[in-house]
């Protein structure tokens, strides 16, 4: 990702993690390598197209590594890069804040 001048250091983090599904993708990959279908099941109500796009952007930004195995059928695995693993404390803090601040399940709207 091209580093434009940013007035707030957190803005770069937000740019890399922008998108509804990127933080959940990183959160699931923190526990280990996943195939596309596994990520789709883990993440939830994300479409195949959107998940693929979000993964492409994370790969482009150096957060996720995509490994293709030359077998039939094609096998592709996703894992965090060393840079991606540095997001662990960021995601953990986001999860802790969300757990503390989210309304009880019965109060949430679908």
Instruction: Identify whether 61 is part of a domain.
Output: yes
The HSE-up count of residue 80 (CA atoms within 13 Å, CB side) is 18
Closest to 37 in 3D by CA, of 75, 80, 68, 72: 75
Contact 58, 17 (CB under 8 A): no
Per the listing, tokens 């960021």 go with 90
pLDDT digits (tens, 9 = 90+) for 25-77: 999 999 999 999 999 999 989 999 999 999 999 999 999 999 999 999 889 99
pLDDT digits (tens, 9 = 90+) for 77-106: 999 999 999 999 999 999 999 999 988 877
| CATH code of 69's domain | 1.10.10.10
Give the chain's domain count: 1
Both tokens of residue 18?
Answer: 């922008």
Tell me the pTM. 0.84
Instruction: Identify whether 105 is part of a domain.
Output: no
Domain span at 91: 11-97
Instruction: Identify whether 63 is part of a domain.
Output: yes
Instruction: Identify whether 104 is part of a domain.
Output: no
The predicted pLDDT at position 108 comes to: 56
Instruction: Identify whether 34 is part of a domain.
Output: yes
Instruction: Identify whether 46 is part of a domain.
Output: yes
Q: Which residues pair with 34 in a beta bridge?
A: 78
Instruction: Identify whether 5 is part of a domain.
Output: no
Separation between Cα atoms, residue 33 and residue 87, nearest integer Å: 16
Instruction: Identify whether 3 is part of a domain.
Output: no
DSSP 9-21: HHHHHHHHH-STT
The predicted pLDDT at position 103 comes to: 85
At residue 110, does pLDDT exceed 60? no
């Amino acid at each position: 990702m091209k580093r434009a001048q940013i007035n707030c250091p957190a803005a770069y983090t937000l740019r890399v993690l922008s998108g509804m599904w990127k933080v959940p993708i990183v959160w699931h990959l923190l526990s280990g390598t996943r195939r596309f279908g596994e990520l789709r099941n883990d993440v939830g109500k994300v479409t195949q197209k959107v998940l693929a796009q979000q993964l492409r952007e994370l790969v482009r930004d150096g957060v996720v590594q995509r490994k293709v195995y030359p077998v039939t059928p094609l096998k592709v695995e996703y894992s965090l890069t060393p840079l991606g693993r540095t997001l662990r404390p960021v995601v953990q803090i986001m999860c802790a804040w969300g757990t503390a601040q989210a309304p009880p399940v019965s109060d949430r709207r679908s």
